[in-house]
């Protein structure tokens, strides 16, 4: 019973508060608001965890967010979902409901997922602080103690409310909830304009790889959803302070969810903002990202928690070409995975063919997607020789998850220009 | 995983067919309205294939859920469809034997805290938080597929494990 309460409170409360940060149609408010709310409550739990009280941090953040939300709320230019797209939202809700129902019978499924994320949720819940064995003890070095803790902090709230560290289904429920809210929000954001703009984002979010990975306990899908939604909010609203705030919160959430979140956010912010005429409002989103990410960064620096994969040694090795050059094999493996219909459907070919036939792609987001892919190629090149396995085995163990965020950016890069006339159609 | 997938092919095929019907139903209103946009058919095809494939993906998640349910796993699963590194009864016996603040270690045929398979120690470390591992002087040890020394204080025993208090 308390586990059900934990699942309900950690998902519904953030949605109720987060919807006050978005104004417009109910679909957009509840879906995008739910994701914003999750970022806010989890960030509160991170800050609380740093001070020794995650529940108080989350509760205080929710109270503050409840009151300041309406003053900061972002209003989309056009917020009503294009009527032919409405069935899509219904189907996503149906699939999400099935995933949430199944989550009640599932533990955290995958080994890597609980080494890296759920273990920390359990550690934070049992100690009430990051200043504890799981985060600082040598016995838990294998769990990459420097990894950002937005997802574990949100999950720790579920453990704390349920009071049972041996039942983990509320964590699965949280992830199914986040996929559902994020998928609806993405379709609602891209489907505000008449036309095909929502189709490629839909193809991305329901692709087998994204749906499967969203239920395996990893942080990749939550991070990618926050990243892509933040980009969709900021894309044509960069001088709107409210868009900068909501977009900044979402991107800050992405940066605090995974190690690669921060460089991905830096890439998209640079690509979105670099060609713009300078104005103080453009600094708002990046400032929020820095503000959300900084406390955890300082904690890792204070306790000398370094990244075992990306550090001075591996970067030096990459720059000095110290490890055997395998860029063609890495690119080929990543390319063949992207083109696998069983994993990604027709997403990548459709993005490329659409960009060529329609002769339009958002260049800034296209460059961001390519830079994101290039970043992962470089990471593989720099780190594979330290893994103690073959390159193929190392890539195949995680390439599916690694591609989620860059392909989401690619889908947006091709789709969002269709929100502008003459490609948008009469209602 | 591959063998399981082959076994599941009929279910996946049926799910794909239903998914195709669902995609036609969902995207039909869109099809009627976007045909003057450039490259509309490419985007529509990508979305249709995505919606079609989401049902087989859901079937796989259902099968994975059933796999965990059959084994009574409530806390952690295992990689894909592989077996967990230790039986649930063994892990729970060790959990029950530990008092707050006590330390533990696993013992395999390779020695204390030495893994026969890489994940046994990690898997237990996850299960037993907040009790920390201590490979030098543990309060409680679990002997996994290896007999404990004669005279050890066994507090729980199963077919392939023995929990020993120091």
- pLDDT (mean) for A45-57: 96
* Chain A / chain B CB contacts < 8 angstroms: 180
pLDDT classification of B122: cutoffs 50, 70, 90: confident
Q: Is A88 on the interface with B (CB under 8 A)?
A: yes
Tokens 């499967």 identify what position? A212
Tokens 């273990």 identify what position? A119
Residue length, chain B?
166
At residue B2, the pLDDT reads 57
- A247 or B126, which is more confident: A247
Say if residue B123's pLDDT is above 50: yes
Q: Is A221 on the interface with B (CB under 8 A)?
A: no
At residue A21, the pLDDT reads 96
Nearest to A353 among B39, B44, B133 (CB): B39
- A270 or B113, which is more confident: A270
- pLDDT (mean) for A142-164: 94
- B5 or A60, which is more confident: A60
Say if residue B3's pLDDT is above 70: no
At residue A74, the pLDDT reads 94
Buried b (16+ CB within 10 A) or exposed e, A60-69: ebbeebbeeb
CB A52 within 8 A of CB A1: no
* Global confidence as pTM: 0.93
Highest mean pLDDT among A297-311, A384-398, B81-95, B114-128: A297-311
Do the Cβ atoms of B44 and A199 come within 8 Å? yes
CB A61 within 8 A of CB A41: yes
Q: What is the pLDDT of residues B38-73, one digit of tens each?
A: 888 999 999 999 999 999 999 999 999 998 898 888
Question: ipTM score here?
Answer: 0.91
Q: Is B61 on the interface with A (CB under 8 A)?
A: yes
Which residues of chain A lie closer than 8 angstroms to B119, CB-CB? Answer: 111
- pLDDT (mean) for A383-408: 84
Q: How far apart are CA A284 and CA A44, in angstroms?
A: 20
Q: Count other C-beta atoms under 10 Å from residue B7's C-beta.
A: 11
CA distance A394 to chain B (A): 15
pLDDT classification of A99: cutoffs 50, 70, 90: very high
Nearest to A211 among B43, B44, B58 (CB): B58
CA distance A37 to chain B (A): 26
CA distance B150 to chain A (A): 29
At residue A140, the pLDDT reads 84
Nearest to A400 by CA among A333, A310, A332: A333
Do the Cβ atoms of A91 and B32 come within 8 Å? no
CB A229 within 8 A of CB A38: no
A10-19, A352-361, A389-398: range with lowest mean pLDDT: A389-398
What is the chain B residue with the closest CA to A142? B122
Chain-centroid distance, C-alpha A319: 29
Q: How far apart are CA A418 and CA A232, in angstroms?
A: 13
A153-157, A212-216, A252-256, B127-131: range with lowest mean pLDDT: B127-131
Take residue A172 and report the two structure tokens written for it: 């699965």
At residue A393, the pLDDT reads 81
At residue A324, the pLDDT reads 67
Q: What is the mean pLDDT of chain A?
A: 91
Say if residue B82's pLDDT is above 80: no
Say if residue A125's pLDDT is above 90: yes
Pinpoint the alpha helices (H) of B71-153.
Answer: 88-97, 119-128
Query: What Å distances lie between residue B119 and A160, A375, B48, B101, CA to CA?
Result: 26, 30, 40, 23
Q: How far apart are CA A17 and CA A34, in angstroms?
A: 8
Take residue A95 and report the two structure tokens written for it: 């699939």
At residue A322, the pLDDT reads 61
Residue A316 burial (10 A CB sphere; 0-12, 13-18, 19+): exposed
């Amino acid at each position: 019973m308390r586990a059900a309460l934990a699942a309900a409170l950690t998902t519904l409360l953030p949605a109720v508060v987060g919807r006050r940060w978005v104004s417009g149609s109910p679909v957009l408010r509840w879906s995008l608001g739910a994701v914003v709310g999750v970022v806010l409550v989890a960030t509160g739990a991170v800050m609380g965890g740093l001070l020794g009280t995650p529940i108080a941090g989350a509760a205080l953040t929710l109270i503050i967010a409840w009151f300041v939300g309406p003053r900061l709320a972002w209003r989309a230019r056009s917020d009503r979902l294009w009527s032919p797209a409405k069935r899509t939202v219904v189907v996503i809700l149906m699939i999400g409901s099935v995933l949430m129902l199944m989550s009640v019978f599932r533990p955290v499924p995958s080994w890597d997922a609980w080494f890296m994320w759920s273990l920390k949720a359990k550690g934070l819940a049992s100690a009430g602080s990051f200043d504890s064995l799981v985060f600082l003890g040598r016995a838990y070095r294998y769990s990459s103690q420097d990894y950002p803790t937005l997802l574990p902090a949100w999950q720790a709230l579920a453990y704390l409310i349920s009071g049972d560290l041996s039942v983990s289904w509320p964590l699965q429920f949280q992830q199914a909830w986040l996929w559902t809210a994020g998928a609806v929000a993405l379709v609602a954001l891209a489907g505000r304009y008449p036309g095909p703009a929502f189709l490629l984002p839909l193809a991305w979010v329901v692709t087998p790889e994204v749906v499967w990975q969203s239920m395996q306990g990893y942080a990749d899908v939550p991070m990618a959803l926050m990243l892509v939604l933040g980009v969709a909010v900021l894309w044509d609203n960069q001088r709107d302070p409210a868009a900068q705030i909501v977009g900044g919160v979402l991107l800050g959430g992405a940066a605090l969810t995974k190690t690669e979140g921060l460089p991905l956010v830096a890439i998209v912010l640079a690509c979105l903002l670099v060609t713009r005429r300078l104005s103080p409002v453009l600094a708002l989103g990046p400032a929020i990202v820095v503000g959300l990410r900084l406390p955890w960064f300082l904690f890792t620096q204070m306790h000398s928690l370094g990244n075992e994969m990306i550090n001075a040694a591996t970067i030096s090795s990459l720059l000095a070409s110290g490890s055997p050059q395998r860029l063609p094999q890495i690119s080929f493996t990543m390319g063949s995975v992207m083109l696998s219909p069983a994993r990604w459907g027709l997403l990548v070919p459709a993005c490329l063919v659409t960009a060529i036939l329609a002769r339009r792609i958002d260049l800034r987001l296209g460059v961001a997607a390519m830079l994101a892919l290039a970043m992962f190629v470089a990471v593989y090149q720099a780190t594979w020789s330290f893994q103690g396995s073959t390159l193929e085995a190392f890539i195949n163990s995680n390439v599916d998850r690694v591609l989620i965020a860059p392909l989401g950016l690619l889908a947006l890069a091709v789709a969002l220009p269709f929100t502008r006339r003459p490609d948008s159609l009469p209602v | 995983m591959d063998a399981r997938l082959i076994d599941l092919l009929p279910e996946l095929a049926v799910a794909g067919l239903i998914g195709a019907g669902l995609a036609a139903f969902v995207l039909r209103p869109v099809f009627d309205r976007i045909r003057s946009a450039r490259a509309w058919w490419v985007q529509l095809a990508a979305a249709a294939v995505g919606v079609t494939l989401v049902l087989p993906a859901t079937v796989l998640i259902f099968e994975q859920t059933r796999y965990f349910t059959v084994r009574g796993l409530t806390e952690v699963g295992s990689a894909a469809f592989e077996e967990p590194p230790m039986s649930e009864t063994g892990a729970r016996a060790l959990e029950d034997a530990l008092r707050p603040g006590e330390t533990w270690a696993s013992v395999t045929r390779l020695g204390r805290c030495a893994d026969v398979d890489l994940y046994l120690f990690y898997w237990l470390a996850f299960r037993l938080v907040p009790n920390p591992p201590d490979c030098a002087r543990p309060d409680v040890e679990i002997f996994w597929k290896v007999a404990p020394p004669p005279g050890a204080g066994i507090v729980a025993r199963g077919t392939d494990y023995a929990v020993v208090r120091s």
